[in-house]
Every structure is written in structure tokens, then in C-alpha cells.
Amino acid sequence: MIPESFEYHAPQTLAEASRLIAQFGQEGKILAGGHSLLPLMKLRLASPRHLVDIGRVAELKYIREDADKIQIGALTTHYQIESSELLKQKCPLLPETAREIGDVQVRNKGTLGGSLAHADPAADWPAAILALGGEVEARSESGSRWIPAQEFFVEMLTTTLQADEILTAIRVPALPAHAGEAYVKFAQPASGFAIVGAAARVVLDDAGAVAEVGVGITGVAAKPYRAAAVEGVLRGHSPTAKRIAEAAAHAAEGVEVNADLYASAEYRTHLAAVYTRRALEKAVERAGGK
């Protein structure tokens, strides 16, 4: 399993990387941790002429708190997120999601930005970033823009990133008071990818009713999505077990549900409701609700 030949470029700065990727256009591919792209190249499903390895761009490796937001550099590895004390306190959904990805070795090398840009429809990060209402920063030589997570994923392995743009950062809200988050997944036993993964974020008001809710679902459709119908049933209401179950029943509403060797569309639809319910129950419990 040897990739096709390519020219290798190892820029030291983001500016240099942006220049290279603008120059190569469709013939260039960005390499971050390589744990999505290299497997594709080894199978020759991807054969870029130019590989721009941004692994040495130090300015893309950070986790920082900025007022009520958390910003994470695109090259931060799954393990760095999993083990971050700041994130465990300020955005526990991210470490909880990181722990579910691949295995120890994969988490040492794979990156948050790389996974999001790759946009595998069964990857874990999209569910979490969607539930949090996060944003993704894209930079090119002509400037930078922030893309809401909901607009970022277009199709299987396709995002709104342009050929000359590099995904540089992810921004999510820090955990406010009376809030809880959770990610649960039903993993394919061999690959570890999500047959269904559900992430939930719930913020309660003083009366214990749901003030804000975000539910992100991966593995179920051609792209990860935010389950608006689920959120609609919960918002403004007391999150009783009955209300949560009612809401979760809408988990696969409005999407074309995947069917494959491991799970039929009917079974996946069922699992989506079950895992959405479990994620919501955990999030509500952590928010201090009943």
C-alpha cells in the first residue's frame, strides 16, 4: 500500500502554506496529522500532485480561552484535546468526544482541523462542533472568514472550504452555568467509526426549563447534521424523561438515512433516537436538571 508519487512541501508558517496551496489549486492537498488523508492516498483513492504538510506550522497548535469562547488551533491533536485541563472544565464535550476517536495512537497524530476538513460522515468531531454551535475559521491569502458549523458540511467528504483556503481554527462557546454536554456513540466494532453518534448541549434557565439546546448527529446521513426537530420539542420546556424521549424520537427527521452492511436505515433510525435520548439525558443530568 504505497501512495502514488507526489511533491512534498513543508512550510514553516501559515503565510507560506497559504501561498503554496493557492499556487497548486486542485492539484494540492493539505496534510495535517495525516490520519484521514494518508489512508486514502495508500488506497489511491486520493493522489494529489502536491502535498503541503502544515505539521510544522507552530501557530496552528494552541488551545486558548477568549472571554466566553474557547478557540483551538486546527493542528491540535485529539490527544491534546482529550488531556486538556482547560477543556475538561470549560468545554467538557470536546475531551469526551476526543476519547471516542480511533485509538491511542490515532489520537496522538490525528488533528481536530484535519478531521473536520476531511468531513467523513461517520467522524466524531462534527457531532460535537454542531451541538456546540461552533464556528470554523478558513484562511487564504485574501483573508479569513468564520463559517458556522451548520454551513460547513456540504456532502460526504465535502465542506464549504475553497481550494485556496486552509482550516485554521475552531471556536466554541465555553460552558456557562446550569449547562451540560454529552457525546455518546454506537461504534462500528472493527473500525470504531460511528454507526450513530449523538452530541448534546443543554443550558437550563432558573426555573429548570431548557433555555438553549444543541444536538449534533453523525454516522446517520451523508453529512453530519444538527437535529433541529429534536431541539424544537425541548426548547422552553422542562426536560422530563418523557419530554426527552419525545424529542429524541425526531432524531433522524428530514434526513436520508444511510444503510450499509452494518445497519439498515430502519435500524439506524432507531439507534439515532436511542443515542440522542441518552446524550440528552446525560447532558440534562450534568446541567443539574432532573
Q: Which residues contact another protein (rule: CB under 8 A)?
A: 1-8, 10, 31, 34-35, 38-39, 41-42, 51, 53, 55, 79, 102-106, 108-109, 190-191
Closer to another protein by Cβ: residue 191 or 264: 191
Of 116, 102, 111, 192, which is closest to residue 158 (Cα–Cα)?
116
Instruction: Work out how close the CB of 103 gets to another protein at its nearest, in angstroms, rounded to a whole number.
Output: 3
- Cβ-based nearer residue to another protein, 55 or 92: 55
Contact criterion met (CB below 8 Å) for 169 and 147 = no
Smallest distance from another protein to CB 95, Å: 15
**Closer residue to another protein, CB minimum distance, 6 or 267:** 6
Instruction: Pick between residue 38 and residue 245 the one whose CB is nearest to another protein.
Output: 38
In this complex, which beta carbon is closest to another protein, that of residue 177 or of residue 190? 190
The C-alpha cell at 127 is 457531532
The least CB distance from residue 5 to another protein, in Å, is 6
Q: In this structure, which amino acid lies at residue 165? A: E
Nearer to another protein, 110 or 224 (CB): 110
CB 21 within 8 A of CB 28: yes
CB of 260 to another protein, least distance (A): 18
Compute the least distance from the CB of residue 268 to another protein, in Å. Answer: 23
Rounded to 5 degrees, what are φ and ψ at 181? -135, 150
Smallest gap from Cβ 33 to another protein, in A, equals 9
> Among residues 79 and 275, whose Cβ is nearest to another protein?
79
| Minimum distance from residue 51 beta carbon to another protein (Å) | 7
Comparison of 52 and 169: residue with beta carbon closer to another protein: 52
Q: How far is the CB of 211 from another protein (least distance, A)?
A: 36
The secondary structure of the chain, three-state, reads CCCCCCEEECCCCHHHHHHHHHHHHHHEEEECCCCCHHHHHHCCCCCCCEEEEHHHCHHHCCEEEECCEEEEECCCEHHHHHCCHHHHHHCCHHHHHHCCCCCHHHHHHCEHHHHHHHCCCCCCHHHHHHHCCCEEEEEECCEEEEEEHHHHEEECCEECCCCCCEEEEEEEECCCCCEEEEEEEEECCCCCCEEEEEEEEEEECCCCCEEEEEEEEECCCCCCEECHHHHHHHCCCCCCHHHHHHHHCCCCCCCCCCCCCCCCHHHHHHHHHHHHHHHHHHHHHHCCCC
